[in-house]
């Protein structure tokens, strides 16, 4: 059936474009620091942000990666080759 084949092709095309979340530069820097095992305080000091900002950004990162913690975020970022 032509309709079914078109739907399958459209689904495949959409999935192939979805290669992962779109991270900001700041989030990528924070994610790299998480992979390196740094604390929020260390990250804030190194990047020049407040600890509160780092905490908020890590929560966003966890959500984008669909994980619940630092270690899982680091593992998923490496698995997806985000950084």
- pLDDT at residue 21, rounded to an integer: 72
- pLDDT at residue 7, rounded to an integer: 54
Question: CA-to-CA distance for 32 and 46, rounded, in angstroms?
Answer: 12
- pLDDT at residue 18, rounded to an integer: 39
| Low-confidence residues of the chain: pLDDT under 50 | 10-19
Question: CA-to-CA distance for 29 and 11, rounded, in angstroms?
Answer: 33
Q: Where are the alpha helices (DSSP H) in the chain?
A: 2-17, 25-35, 40-47, 51-65, 70-79
Which tens digit of pLDDT belongs to each residue from 25-44?
999 999 999 999 999 999 99
Nearest C-alpha neighbor of 36 from the set 81, 80, 73? 73
Question: Cα 17–21–22 angle (5° rounding)?
Answer: 95
């Amino acid at each position: 059936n032509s309709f079914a084949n078109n739907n399958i092709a459209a689904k495949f095309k959409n999935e192939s474009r979805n290669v992962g979340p779109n991270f900001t530069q700041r989030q990528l820097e924070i994610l790299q620091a998480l992979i390196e095992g740094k604390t929020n305080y260390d990250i804030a000091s190194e990047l020049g942000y407040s600890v509160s900002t780092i905490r908020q950004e890590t929560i966003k990162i966890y959500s984008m990666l669909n994980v619940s913690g630092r270690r899982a975020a680091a593992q998923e970022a490496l698995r997806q080759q985000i950084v």
